[in-house]
A and B are shown apart, each in its own frame.
Chain A
Amino acid sequence: AQTVTQSQPEMSVQEAETVTLSCTYDTSESDYYLFWYKQPPSRQMILVIRQEAYKQQNATENRFSVNFQKAAKSFSLKISDSQLGDAAMYFCAYPQGAQKLVFGQGTRLTINP
């Protein structure tokens, strides 16, 4: 069964610094997608970034980028120039069976002013 593991329950970073959140996954598929979602206190899940496994280039969305290591099944999220509004729970997710998202346990990110 496919699993997603986030080994960091909590992380904190100083405002304007860079932080990296880790995620590993297990799959036997060769073509798939990976996602990072953010859940602020409002509880709405917001898409942060998406990576296609067939692409060697790491996805980037403004201050958010990923380090995708397909062979190692690792998918970390880097947040540059951290802002107070980045404080949230971050979930790594993998679509099992094409559509059903399997989520990691989440990492609570705190931004210190």
Chain B
Amino acid sequence: EAGVTQSPTHLIKTRGQQATLRCSPISGHTSVYWYQQALGLGLQFLLWYDEGEERNRGNFPPRFSGRQFPNYSSELNVNALELEDSALYLCASSPGVSGNTIYFGEGSWLTVV
């Protein structure tokens, strides 16, 4: 069974540009989560989607946005990129029921120059 898959693996963007990261959850999982892991800052919760709806949002500015498609895959968009957006972005999925384990993908490295 395929795990959570993310693309691209690495992305280099210029300050002010937009970045789009993609995530495919494990088959049967309806919830998708996005986390940011910047150097020295640990894992910070970004967004949670379930059944196509945004269910929860972390303490990030509105230029961080996303969506979930009918097939439960998800996109994370970061507009007006800033240097401090450089980080590993981890996507995770779960069956969407409270208490279920959350499984992570390998992450997408975003570098803003």
Determine whether B102 belongs to the interface, using a CB cutoff of 8 Å to chain A: yes
Could you tell me if B101 and A47 are in contact, using CB atoms closer than 8 angstroms? Answer: yes
Could you tell me if A103 and B42 are in contact, using CB atoms closer than 8 angstroms? Answer: yes
Determine whether A78 belongs to the interface, using a CB cutoff of 8 Å to chain B: no
Instruction: Name the distance in Å between B44's Cβ and chain A's nearest Cβ.
Output: 9
Could you tell me if A99 and B88 are in contact, using CB atoms closer than 8 angstroms? Answer: no
Please classify the interface of chain A as helix (H, G, I), strand (E, B), loop, or mixed, using the class held by over half of its residues: strand
Give the size range of B's interface with the partner: 20 to 34
A37 partner residues in chain B, CB cutoff 8 A? 104
Could you tell me if A91 and B106 are in contact, using CB atoms closer than 8 angstroms? Answer: no
Asked, given contacts A35-B101, A91-B43, A105-B42, whether A99 binds B92 with beta carbons under 8 Å apart, the answer is no
> How far is A100 from B35 in the complex, measured between Cα atoms in Å?
10
B90 partner residues in chain A, CB cutoff 8 A? 45
A47 partner residues in chain B, CB cutoff 8 A? 101, 103
Could you tell me if B42 and A99 are in contact, using CB atoms closer than 8 angstroms? Answer: no
Could you tell me if A45 and B55 are in contact, using CB atoms closer than 8 angstroms? Answer: no
Please classify the interface of chain B as helix (H, G, I), strand (E, B), loop, or mixed, using the class held by over half of its residues: strand
Q: Mark B86-108, 1 if CB is under 8 A from A, else 0.
A: 00101010101011011111110
Most buried by A among B37, B43, B50, B55: B43
> How far is A104 from B104 in the complex, measured between Cα atoms in Å?
16
| A residues whose Cβ falls under 8 Å from a Cβ of B | 32-33, 35, 37, 42-47, 50, 52, 91, 95, 97-106
Give me 22 A-to-B residue pairs in the complex whose CB atoms sit less than 8 angstroms apart, sorted by A's number.
Answer: A35-B102, A37-B104, A44-B105, A44-B107, A45-B104, A46-B104, A52-B99, A95-B98, A95-B102, A98-B98, A99-B48, A99-B50, A99-B55, A99-B96, A100-B33, A101-B35, A101-B45, A101-B92, A101-B102, A103-B42, A104-B42, A105-B42
Q: Apart from A98-B99, A103-B42, A106-B42, what are 14 other A-B pairs with CB-CB below 8 Å?
A: A33-B99, A35-B101, A37-B104, A43-B107, A44-B106, A45-B90, A45-B92, A47-B103, A99-B31, A99-B48, A99-B50, A99-B56, A101-B102, A105-B42
Which are the 4 A-B pairs with shortest beta-carbon distances? A45-B104, A98-B98, A103-B43, A44-B106
